[in-house]
Structure 1
């Protein structure tokens, strides 16, 4: 057990820390999303009350990349992180400016402020995502573009993989497609490189044809900052003219055949019974 003196010292230290935390404040302003190639402005604001600043340190994950210590010469020191470009002119004890950001810089960023004479540290972190938009919008592929009611439609929507991965969604006549008809296949390789893909397979119902057409739409989104759609129209397939004519010819042939059979029966009747009628006429004259 702790002695009474140690217990009192422990309680006083807790009270001191609590008072120090209430008097000292820190807040970071880090953009949640930044487009690749743009500039990211990271700000660390702090209030130390009556304490003095000892150091400001910036971390990406567990790796320190920027340090400001007013008691050293020069006061700024940087540590390399692959793909990170710091604008030294614009950066100081409050902000760090990153230029031409790349997708590899996505991650957790933390600002740590240490004060004297206690060397008590304040820290706050936030997550930043670097977005690489797809090189093109989504594309739709189908087996064919004409269907009858009752046919099964198989369609694929693809978009080049980006960072983060785009979310795909299907619509039929502007209505979301049920998950029952959706199959997901992400990050597959093709002749165009890595792509994200979403397939649908559904049966066509006659009411889905609007003036003989069904509208398919695929939507690709990224964090509400990227929004691209593509549409494809399916048409109701009608009987071909050659088939209609063929069916009509079959009907006419059937009629002709039935008439021919009737005429043939009549001829056979006369051939069989005409000679008998002539014999009866000769016999009656005798």
Structure 2
């Protein structure tokens, strides 16, 4: 009896087949369900809430794949759009409180939609493209990417106040300013590759403007630096970082060229170790003294 049960389980155990797409476990049958391949999912990393975000899903089928059944778009866990080529009409929109789909253009190889984004900055949204093939198994593949609601900086920050050359020991005041963005950028200065040293009680020296007509804000921060490097130049960098996820950074660099000032001991009178500058000062002082004496003598003579 035990032998019969063993033989029964042996001949009725499921056979597992591995494919590069889906693994199926079936008794004494080979059922291979294949799905299309998603070649790329175009979801912008950052999305401006004042504009619709355009999302595109690209997919291809292998030679033996069943026909395309549907393409579905999800926002988080909520389905927002579906393309079913065998149905009439082939597209269907599922509007939610999270935002609506304003446009959808799909075919057998790509599906593009435009979605309304929330007006809350720094909101992170996941979008998923799901592609399935016809039955009987309706194999499915999907990909997900995230979008952060933000108006990123369109240009690098601008450094104002950098002269063409500076003198050793000179104090320089620089200013770094960004264009309008949201959330506003935080600015950090670097001098010769090292971050600007600030007082421990200073949390943030970045100043932020009021909102413009679109609610965007500019940022600026000053840097006072004393040129005391023995080298011939000072490298200055301004980093503007928006606190998004992931952070968005734009950078501007400038170089302060340190001019070589003439040293008074570089020029001396011939045959003398006394500097010309000191000799000149003595001669000028002597002449001024003579003029003063002569003027005093002339005034006495007139009396």
Residue 65 of structure 1: how far off its partner (Å) = 1.8
Q: Is the 8 A contact 2:47 2:150 kept in 1?
A: yes
Equivalent residue number for residue 63 of structure 1: 78
Q: 1:196 and 1:42 mapped to 2: Cα distance?
A: 34
Choose the corresponding residue for 1:149, options 150, 158, 168: 168
How many residue pairs get aligned? The number is 236
Decide whether aligned partners of structure 1 residues 38 and 55 sit closer, same or farther in structure 2, where only a CA change above 3 A counts: closer
Equivalent residue number for residue 274 of structure 2: none
The reply to whether residue 27 of structure 1 matches residue 51 of structure 2 is: no
Match of 2:22, SS state, is: helix
Choose the corresponding residue for 1:190, options 205, 209, 212: 209
Give the number of the structure whose residues are more often helix, by fraction: 1
What is the CA deviation profile of residues 127-169 of structure 1, one whole-angstrom value per residue up to 9, with x for unaligned ones?
5577745477634456999975335545341214536876968
Equivalent residue number for residue 87 of structure 1: 103
Decide whether aligned partners of structure 1 residues 14 and 136 sit closer, same or farther in structure 2, where only a CA change above 3 A counts: closer
Q: 1:80 and 1:156 mapped to 2: Cα distance?
A: 47
Residue 204 of structure 1: how far off its partner (Å) = 0.4
Q: Give me the CA root mean square deviation.
A: 5.6
Q: 2:11 and 2:225 mapped to 1: Cα distance?
A: 74
Decide whether aligned partners of structure 1 residues 160 and 40 sit closer, same or farther in structure 2, where only a CA change above 3 A counts: same
Unaligned runs of 5+ in 1: 239-247, 261-286
Match of 1:87, SS state, is: strand
Give the number of the structure whose residues are more often strand, by fraction: 1
Q: Over alpha carbons, which structure has the higher Rg?
A: 1
Choose the corresponding residue for 1:110, options 124, 128, 131: 128
The reply to whether residue 125 of structure 1 matches residue 144 of structure 2 is: yes
Equivalent residue number for residue 51 of structure 1: 66
Match of 1:194, SS state, is: coil
Q: Is the 8 A contact 2:185 2:218 kept in 1?
A: no
Q: 1:135 and 1:53 mapped to 2: Cα distance?
A: 40
Q: Is the 8 A contact 2:82 2:91 kept in 1?
A: yes
Residue 234 of structure 1: how far off its partner (Å) = 8.9
The reply to whether residue 98 of structure 1 matches residue 103 of structure 2 is: no
Equivalent residue number for residue 13 of structure 2: 8
Equivalent residue number for residue 297 of structure 2: none
Q: 1:65 and 1:186 mapped to 2: Cα distance?
A: 43
Choose the corresponding residue for 1:138, options 142, 157, 168: 157
Decide whether aligned partners of structure 1 residues 56 and 136 sit closer, same or farther in structure 2, where only a CA change above 3 A counts: closer
Q: 1:234 and 1:17 mapped to 2: Cα distance?
A: 64
Q: 2:223 and 2:23 mapped to 1: Cα distance?
A: 58
Q: TM-score, normalised by structure 2?
A: 0.50
Q: 2:100 and 2:128 mapped to 1: Cα distance?
A: 15
Equivalent residue number for residue 42 of structure 1: 56
Decide whether aligned partners of structure 1 residues 60 and 23 sit closer, same or farther in structure 2, where only a CA change above 3 A counts: same
Q: 1:21 and 1:141 mapped to 2: Cα distance?
A: 66
Equivalent residue number for residue 269 of structure 1: none
Decide whether aligned partners of structure 1 residues 137 and 23 sit closer, same or farther in structure 2, where only a CA change above 3 A counts: closer
